[in-house]
A and B are shown apart, each in its own frame.
Chain A
Amino acid sequence: MGGNVLLIQIILLAAVAGIAVLLTRSTAGARHQAIRRLCLLLFVVGAAASVIFPQVLSRVANAVGVGRGADLLLYALVIAFLSYISTSHRRMNRMSRQITLLTRELTLSEARSGAEAPPEAHSPATPSDAPDSATPAEVRSPLSLPDDGPRAP
């Protein structure tokens, strides 16, 4: 039995390590997206199969050294969850980067257009009272972000 337990442990640890590496690397190409989607498809098919043929799942579980099929499903779920965290973390990072650049550009162009005006009057005190500004100040409300959510893992 010891050898079999080792097998599933190796599989799980390799998957966890792979996800950890993915987290630190910035890879956002078409290939990765395709792989991600294929993995998701595989997961869906596997989940459906395990419902229809529970004994197959049990057999697979036994083959890699896990006692019950439900346990194997749990392990798979853990891996899927971790990889979900990894991809969503990356996506949130990219999005917050874009918001940063957008906000900065807005601020700087506001400053540039206000450069000719006297410094006291160059930019709106609050975004809501800026009818004279060329930049749409209403961006504030729809873009209100959660504070530290995306970088939690």
Chain B
Amino acid sequence: MSEPAAPPHPSSTSGYGADWLVIPLFNEASVIADVIADALPTFPNIVCVDDGSTDGSGEAARAAGARVLSHAVNLGQGAALQTGISFVCEQPGARSLVTFDADGQHQVADARAMVDLIASGETAIVFGSRFLDGRTKPGMVKRVVLTFAVWFTKQSTGMRLTDAHNGLRAMTIPAARKVDLTQDRMAHASEIVLQLGRTGLDWREYPVHVLYTDYSRGKGQSIWNSVNILVDLLFK
């Protein structure tokens, strides 16, 4: 693991009281409690946006100690993310927010390091990247799809990201205020990069480790999904 900068930020619980975790939540009842329990000692402020789950994910998240907002109907991950971002932007004293996946793919340590980068004032936006080091091992098909996503992002945003569709991102509240996702479903990942890029604020990538468990592999984006994303992006 290549630690880019020495975090001057204290790693105590109280140190992240102004940094929010935003977790879009849809039917992840079996794992969400563990994910929250894992993150809560570091990030006392976690907001889960329950996107119309039908398996009691919202209750599980609330019982685990997260603040839970509920969508009355299922809208999609992008919509849930935007609701969470809007909510955090309204919270007094909030300094930054981290978008975090509900399925346990992301590491709390990575999120903490990204927040440290922001707290140090080095940058306003940090994109997690699976491909800055060799820890993450995606399958062959996934690698092809992600390579295409990287190329597409570069064409459409001009930003040279090594990992275009990583759900782990950290941003300051002023940066988050500029985000207004209109892509309700998976295409939001390209949209949020585009909108954050347009803020003109400093951004950088941070190497993160994504755990491809059988659980997340079963739920993750298939190659069909990437077709849907492209159509969503082109035919607005």
Q: Is the interface of A mostly helix, strand, loop or mixed?
A: helix
Q: Is the CB of B90 within 8 A of A104?
A: no
B69 within 8 A of A: yes
**In the bound complex, what is the Cα–Cα distance between A119 and B86 (angstroms)?**
18
Given contacts A103-B75, A108-B87, contact A148 B228 (CB under 8 A): yes
Q: Which of A3-11, A47-55, A89-97 contacts B (4 or more CB under 8 A)?
A: A89-97
Size of the chain B interface, CB-CB below 8 angstroms: 28
Residue among B59, B83, B87, B231 with max Cβ neighbours from chain A (10 Å): B83
Q: Which residues of A contact B87 (CB under 8 A)?
A: 108, 111
Q: Mark B53-86, 1 if CB is under 8 A from A, else 0.
A: 0000011001000011111111100010011001
Q: Are A151 and B62 in contact (CB under 8 A)?
A: no
CA–CA, A27 and B79, complex, Å: 23
Contact residue among B71, B182, B231 (Cβ-Cβ distance under 8 Å from A151): B231
Query: Interface size bucket, A side?
Result: 20 to 34
Contact at B235–A120, with CB atoms within 8 Å? no
Q: Within 8 Å of chain A (Cβ to Cβ): is B219?
A: no
What sequence of 0s and 1s flags, for each residue 187-231 of chain B, a beta carbon within 8 Å of any chain A beta carbon? 000000000000000000000000000000000000000001001
CB contact under 8 A between A125 and B73, given known A107-B49, A112-B90: no
A26 to B182, CA, bound (A): 14
B70/A104 in contact, CB under 8 A: no
A107 to B71, CA, bound (A): 6
Tell me if A14 counts as interface (CB < 8 A to partner B): no
CB <8 Å contact, B235 and A153 = yes
Contact A151 B69 (CB under 8 A): no
Contacts of B72 on A, CB cut-off 8 Å?
103, 106-107, 127, 137, 139-140, 143
Q: Are A144 and B73 in contact (CB under 8 A)?
A: yes
Residue among B72, B228, B235 with max Cβ neighbours from chain A (10 Å) = B72
A34 at interface (Cβ–Cβ under 8 A)? no
The interface residues of chain A lying within 8 Å CB-to-CB of B234 are 24
Is A58 interfacial (CB 8 A cutoff)? no
Instruction: Give CA–CA (A148, B229) in the complex, Å.
Output: 12
- How far apart are the CA atoms of A123 and B67 in the complex, in Å? 10
A26–B231 alpha-carbon span in the complex (Å): 15
A93 closest partner in B (C-beta):
B236
Chain B residue nearest to A107 in the complex (CB): B69
The interface residues of chain B lying within 8 Å CB-to-CB of A112 are 90
Chain B residues within CB distance 8 Å of chain A: 49, 52, 58-59, 62, 67-75, 79, 82-83, 86-87, 90, 182, 184, 228, 231-232, 234-236
Give me 5 other A-B pairs in contact (C-beta within 8 A), A26-B236, A100-B184 excluded. Answer: A89-B235, A107-B70, A144-B73, A145-B73, A153-B235
